[in-house]
Amino acid sequence: MVCKMGTDMAKSGMMRCLALVTGTGLSLAVTGGQALAAGPSEPGLPQLDISTWPSQIFWLVVIFGVGYVMMAKVVTPKIGTVLEDRRTRLDGDLGKAREASAEAAKIRAEYEADLEAARNDAAAFARQAAAEAAEKAAAVEGKADKKLASKVASAEKKLAEAKAEAMENLNTVAAEAALDAVKGLTGLKATKAQADKIVKATAKAMAPQEAN
Amino acid sequence: MASQGMHSPVEQFEIKPLIELTAGGYDISFTNSSLFMLLAIAVSGVFLVTAMRQGELVPGRMQGAAEMMYEFVADMVRSNVGSEGRAYFPFIFTLFVFLLFGNMLGLIPYSYTFTSQIIVTFFMAAFVFVGVTVIALFKHGLHFFSFFVPAGAPKVLIPFLIVIEVISYFVRPVSLSVRLFANMLAGHTMLKVFAGLAVMISGAGGIAMAGSLLPFLALIGLTGLEVLVAALQAYVFTILTCMYLNDALHLH
């Protein structure tokens, strides 16, 4: 195996260089490969057949080169753009959402302030209305009281007048009754003036008793 | 083994020319390996372009997968290289996609895994190694060589440390390439061994055929494992490239 490598190496300087550098790393693989590749017809590990190396290196360089250009010019810029667009879009949307949220909070605060002011206004208005109503009621009540009092007063006055008149009339009736009674009992004629005088005196004498 | 009709497990790695070509005395035939390199780029390219054609604000399944792949590599570059890595992102992305699709396509029966070819992985690793070294020299000039002197080390130890640092630096392309190559080689060899075993036992006929169930079940498990390895090794190769690039751009 190693001999074969040696003869082949003479073919190309490049191969020799590579084989020398890989030599250390390969020594283990070579022994392993020889053990695996049992049988006299087997030449050993196909990997160590350096006649295939130029072709493999050539196609590796060509294909990897083409792959690199494709990845660098088409694939990675495309994926990068899509990811970048998404990131900016998400950031923008998040910013917008944050703004909207702040706006909503502001509107809510305003609304609550309005509500509070309206509540206060309503309370003040209600208080004022209640006060006005109470005042009006008091005024009406005062007027009614006064009217009532004056009515009572006039009624009492009338009553007193009626009483006095009634008392006057009563005296006259008593005098006449007394005259009639004197005439009927005694046949004497008493003058009206006499009778009045007596009735008045009697009434005067009785008045303190009535008061009691 | 061959006399019993079982193929050699390493036969699958053979390079078969599909179109014979020579240039300047070199055989540069288009082979099965080249075909699967082309398929890896073509399938990934068609997938990515088709998925992103609409470029929708709310991605569908295909577009989501394409974007996920992009974001995955972009995050890898961002966290391992920083903002200066932006210029190298298309290369890193191509590298990851090429390796991922190459590894995955290789798992399809009768296909070819070009990442199981040491020369392919080594050439890519060497390209990365030379590339980051050139970038470092351009960016830092001779100051680049301070990279091999660990900061804060005792003066006595510095000569030894420089030797160790230089060796570890030059081993990078070897470890980077052998890691991917060996994983693919071992995985695909193992799959072939178990598949061959299942076929061989079933060929025995009769009640013995039931015995083929065991390697077959092992094969199913191994296939799952290999899918994981295919993705993981593409990732490892890519992230190590990012780290080397970071060293080149920022030294220590």
Give the pLDDT of residue A61. 96
Please, what's the largest Cα pairwise distance for chain A?
A: 202
The residue out of A48, A66, A85 marking a domain boundary is A48
Q: What is the ipTM of this complex?
A: 0.90
Interface of B with A in 219-238 (CB under 8 A): none
Query: What's the average model confidence in pLDDT over A37-57?
Result: 73
Checking if the pLDDT of A4 tops 70, the result is no
Interface size A-B, in CB pairs within 8 Å, comes to 176
Mutation target vs B (from A1, A12, A31, A60; most B CBs, 10 A cutoff): A60
**Structure token pair of residue A180:** 């009639």
Checking if the pLDDT of A16 tops 70, the result is no
A199: in domain: yes
A188: in domain: yes
B14: exposed, middle or buried (C-beta count within 10 Å: 0-12, 13-18, 19+)?
middle
* pLDDT-derived band at B6, boundaries 50, 70, 90: low
Give the pLDDT of residue A32. 43
The residue range of the domain holding A6 is 2-48
A68: in domain: no
Sequence-distant (≥ 6) Cβ neighbours of residue B252 within 8 angstroms? B147, B150, B151
Which of B10, B56, B93 has the CB atom closest to A76's CB atom? B93
Alpha-carbon distances of A85 from A69, A74, B42, B113, rounded to whole Å? 23, 17, 27, 38
Of A61-65, A125-129, A198-202, B70-74, the one with minimum mean pLDDT is A198-202
Does any CB of chain B come closer than 8 Å to the CB of residue A137? no
* pLDDT-derived band at A14, boundaries 50, 70, 90: very low
Sequence-distant (≥ 6) Cβ neighbours of residue A66 within 8 angstroms? B41
Instruction: Give the span between the Cα atoms of B122 and B14, in whole angstroms.
Output: 18
Instruction: Give the span between the Cα atoms of B251 and A78, in whole angstroms.
Output: 33
CA dihedral sign of residues B80, B83, B89, B93: positive
Q: Domain residue spans in chain B?
A: 2-50+91-250
Instruction: Give the span between the Cα atoms of A121 and A65, in whole angstroms.
Output: 82
Interface of A with B in 5-34 (CB under 8 A): 12, 18, 21-22, 24-26, 29, 33
Query: What's the average model confidence in pLDDT over B99-123?
Result: 94
Checking if the pLDDT of B7 tops 80, the result is no
- E strand or H helix at A7, and its extent? helix A2-9
Query: What's the average model confidence in pLDDT over B67-72?
Result: 95
Interface of B with A in 134-193 (CB under 8 A): 171, 173-175, 177-178, 181-182, 185, 189
Give the pLDDT of residue A2. 40
Sequence-distant (≥ 6) Cβ neighbours of residue B42 within 8 angstroms? none
pLDDT in tens, A77-131: 999 999 999 999 999 999 999 999 999 999 999 999 999 999 999 999 999 999 9
Give the pLDDT of residue A37. 43
The mean pLDDT value of chain A amounts to: 79
User: How many domains are there within chain A?
Assistant: 2
Interface of A with B in 46-65 (CB under 8 A): 46-61, 63-64
Tell me whether residues B119 and A56 touch, CB distance under 8 A: yes
